[in-house]
Chains A and B, each alone.
Chain A
């Protein structure tokens, strides 16, 4: 589903974020990407979302070369990929309901679908009673669950999460990880970056380890080993 073909990314200050990275992710996989800060994890996810262009190499989503997409087709790609971030990236001026509804509206879904799907997905992450609250009225864990609800409401093929538990306490962290597992169980591919050794060991799924922009390990049932 996702294929990185000898991808390098060098930023303007000559910092090498990724160096000849190649790997493939199959549909339905749950892949964790681990590494120290600056190892290239976030850059890797940005390349999938077409937020950054690779310096050399190619990134494919199914059979589409992501970086050959035009300005108008990039939004369509992003609607097929749900994304979750460490800092949640919610729309502060919109309620929980509106944050999710906005994503559906942006994808051109009709009002009936929005009216039925938003409460459903809020229930899935346990926020059905907070639908009218603004993000600043939610706790860290609730914000992240809202962000996840937003990421999955369009039933994406792929869910990517950049350190989604980085700002959460251990209990919220485990809750969020359980939600990701549930999402993966129903067939959505998940790519997940983290620093958290506990999560990796608990998941027991595939782990790709990055160091200085290079893939140094790729284990089918990995442990956190750096």
Chain B
């Protein structure tokens, strides 16, 4: 049993080596497939990080009337904190708002001068970030209802709720589309990779059909004839995984530079390195599986042994 396995493995290895160009062809196709797969995994990490970044930039900004007291604002903040859909709330007092405004307009001396003439015209402000942009509408509704209630003054303490509705809606749609497109790309590329790999390995096996008929005539069992082809498929898959992994490194470096430019807070390079083991495992398993399955299907098609 062990001898048989050893022999089949050796025959597969020898035939991979001697098949030269055909092996290189199968290998190239497989490398492209696995590179694309690895690329999709890394791009997904990049895309998700970009979306998170975008999400965190979109928030609900609640401006309070200048007459509203700090205690009233903090009471509302307390209520908001209890809501599960709220991720974080930052409170900015009237004074902070004024400093902030001054800072933003430090070049506009006319504006700053006219600001000196009046008392601080700014109300306090709450910036609310939700876990999911889809929650913004309900949060705004909550604020509007809350503002009408007796305990917060009844007459209303809120001056304005600005909520980048369009941005949020677009973002939601984008996330949906991006996820669907991602799956579609994986499906289409995955399918065409299987077909091309199958066709290439199939060709290699078709070329060997004469040889197989001779093997049958000298009394070789089916497993002994098929085995080396499966081993060849396995070798192609594993080498391709290794090559794809090496090629992914410069691609990651390039993508990393892009993320720095776009100020997306993800270090793809360290993502690649910290997920290296997972990537090796995934690409090897997919490569080996693809190689063996393609060989198996091609054997069924061309060699009825």
Contacts and interface: CB of A to CB of B under 8 A. Distances in A.
Interface stretch (B216-224, B237-245, B268-276, B294-302): B216-224
B: contact size bracket: 10 to 19
Contacts of A72: 221
A83 B222 CA distance: 19
B215 A91 contact: yes
Contacts of A78: 216-219
B114 interface: no
A79 B211 contact: no
Contacts of A108: 4
A9 B67 CA distance: 109
What secondary structure prevails in chain B residues at the interface with A?
Answer: helix
Contact of B218 (A51, A71, A92, A103): A103
A75 B220 contact: yes
Contact of B211 (A71, A93, A106, A110): A93
B217 to A, nearest CB: 6
B106 interface: no
A89 interface: yes
B303 to A, nearest CB: 14
Given A93-B15, A93-B211, A110 B217 contact: no
A123 interface: no
B220 A106 contact: yes
Contacts of B15: 93
B219 A106 contact: yes
Interface in B188-243: 208, 211, 213-222, 224
Nearest to B15: A93
Contacts of B4: 108
B23 to A, nearest CB: 12
Nearest to A51: B217
B211 A150 contact: no
B18 A93 contact: yes
A51 B19 CA distance: 28
Contacts of A90: 214
Given A92-B211, A93-B15, A93-B211, A111 B217 contact: no
A200 interface: no
Interface string A87-129: 0011111000000001101111011000000000000000000
A105 B7 contact: yes
Interface string A137-154: 000000000000010001
Given A93-B18, A93-B211, A106-B224, A49 B217 contact: yes
A90 B211 CA distance: 8
B113 interface: no
Contacts of B217: 49, 51, 78, 83, 89
B138 interface: no
Given A76-B219, A78-B219, A91 B211 contact: yes
A133 to B, nearest CB: 14
Contacts of A103: 218-219
B3 interface: yes
Nearest to A105: B7
B211 A75 contact: no
A79 B211 CA distance: 17
Nearest to B217: A83
Contact of B215 (A79, A106, A110): A106
B13 to A, nearest CB: 13
A110 B214 contact: no
Given A105-B7, A110-B3, A111-B3, A89 B214 contact: yes
Given A71-B222, A79-B219, A106-B224, 18 more contacts: A49-B217, A72-B221, A75-B220, A75-B221, A76-B219, A78-B216, A83-B218, A89-B213, A89-B214, A91-B215, A93-B18, A105-B224, A106-B215, A106-B218, A106-B221, A107-B219, A110-B3, A111-B3
27 contacts: A71-B222, A72-B221, A75-B219, A75-B221, A75-B222, A79-B218, A83-B217, A89-B214, A91-B211, A91-B214, A91-B215, A92-B211, A93-B15, A93-B18, A93-B208, A102-B215, A102-B218, A102-B220, A103-B218, A105-B7, A106-B215, A106-B218, A106-B221, A108-B4, A111-B3, A150-B218, A154-B219
Query: Nearest 7 CB-CB pairs, A to B?
Result: A78-B219, A106-B220, A79-B219, A103-B218, A75-B219, A89-B214, A75-B221
